[in-house]
């Protein structure tokens, strides 16, 4: 039976474990500067826009989002917990917290090996691929979940 994971708000006690996970997967994030990221994390914790999934008290998944920008800013899952529902739990909670708005995320382009799993995940949540762009001199693609409908 597959374990059910639940996302929760991160707090300052999570910072060390959170950064440990970020360091573990840092190669998946072009342009990542840990010092800048730490500052961003602390701001997001204070704003309650930092979500995590824990297993036995250990952080196994993380997500930062922006209700102002209507975007998923950063998400990572511990390699041993991938394809087990951790990312889905994070996205589901973010969607619950940002109802009735379009939400965007950038991820790797089609053909990039690093993009296979995240692109499939976003498409399962009905995000659609849109424009190609560059972030930190790396080719990415913007995906959008179109939820806002004008009457």
CB 51 within 8 A of CB 10: yes
Residues 6+ apart with CB under 8 A from 73: 44, 64, 65, 66
Q: What is the CB-side half-sphere exposure of residue 48 using CA atoms within 13 A? A: 5
The pLDDT of residue 25 is: 92
Which DSSP state fits 137?
A: T
Question: Beta partners for 61?
Answer: 53, 77
DSSP string computed for 61-122: EEEEEETTTTEEEEEEE-GGGTTTTHHHHHHHHHHHHSTTS-EEEEEEPTT-GGGHHHHHHH
59 vs 22, 80, 104, 133, CA distance in Å?
11, 12, 24, 31
Which pLDDT score is estimated for 51?
A: 99
Kind and range of the H or E run holding 131: strand 128-135
Task: Enter the tokens of residue 74.
Answer: 């950063």
Q: Which tokens go with 82? A: 């991938």
Domains delineated in the chain:
7-145 (3.40.630.30)
Q: Could you tell me which of 18, 19, 16, 23 has the C-alpha nearest to residue 8? A: 18
Q: From first to last of the 151 residues of the chain, give the pLDDT tens digit.
A: 678 999 999 999 999 999 999 999 998 888 888 888 999 999 999 999 999 999 999 999 999 999 999 999 999 999 999 999 999 999 999 999 999 899 999 999 999 988 899 999 999 999 999 999 998 889 999 999 998 665 4
């Amino acid at each position: 039976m597959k374990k059910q994971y639940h996302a929760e708000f991160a707090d300052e006690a999570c910072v060390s474990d959170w950064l440990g996970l970020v360091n573990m997967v840092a190669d998946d994030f072009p342009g990542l500067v840990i010092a800048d990221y730490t500052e961003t994390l602390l701001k997001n914790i204070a704003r309650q826009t930092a979500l995590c999934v824990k297993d036995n008290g250990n952080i196994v998944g993380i997500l930062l989002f922006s209700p102002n920008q209507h975007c998923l800013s950063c998400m990572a899952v511990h390699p041993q917990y991938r394809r087990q529902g951790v990312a889905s739990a994070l996205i589901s909670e973010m969607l619950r917290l940002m109802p009735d708005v379009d939400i965007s995320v950038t991820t790797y382009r089609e053909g990039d090996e690093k993009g296979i799993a995240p692109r499939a995940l976003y498409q399962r949540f009905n995000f659609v691929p849109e424009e190609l762009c560059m972030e930190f001199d790396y080719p990415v693609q913007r995906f959008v979940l179109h939820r806002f409908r004008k009457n």
